[in-house]
Amino acid sequence: MKRLIIVYNPRSSHYSRVDHEVLSKARKLKGWMVGKFEVADTDVDDNSHRLAKVFRDDDLVIAAGGDGTATIAINGIMLSDAKNVRIGVLGFGNFNDTARSFGDVKFEDIIKGDAKEVWPLECKINREHWRYGMCYFTVGMFAEACAVFDHPKTRKALRN
């Protein structure tokens, strides 16, 4: 049986849309074993390592969230031992840069197998692996500037 793993963050700005446009559709799929990976309120590396243990050969992954959720899914795949894992990214964040890298795809497109081949970038610090990224890395001042989106008041305002 085909496996679909949906990676999502219930604390993301547009989670209600994820529930309606992705999770509810996944519940109705026939011929698929559907699993959900809820991003924990820890960090990218912790979530990626936990997610890497979930994947099996030939899994299909949908990252439904913002750039952080997509980064977790991409790193989880790259860190896993699974082969031929495919991913589709649906943007439900504030900027959705990673989703735009994958093109304008919908849930149904991903399930049908419409996919692009991608090659994540690898970032090394002092020649040691740090993280994989699809379109950019945030470090230093820029990363701190982005941290403002994690503040509860900002998240609430963005949901509106």
Q: What is the pLDDT of residue 142?
A: 57
pTM: 0.83
Judge whether 86 and 115 are in contact, CB under 8 Å.
yes
Q: Mean pLDDT by 10-residue block, N- to C-terminus, for the chain (160 residues)?
A: 96 91 96 97 96 97 94 96 95 88 90 81 90 74 63 74
**How many whole angstroms separate alpha carbon 130 and alpha carbon 22?**
30
Helix/strand/coil percent split, the chain, to 5 = 40, 25, 35
Q: What is the pLDDT of residue 104?
A: 83
Return the amino acid letter for 31.
Answer: G
Positive/negative CA dihedral, 44, 12, 106, 19? positive
Return the amino acid letter for 48.
Answer: S
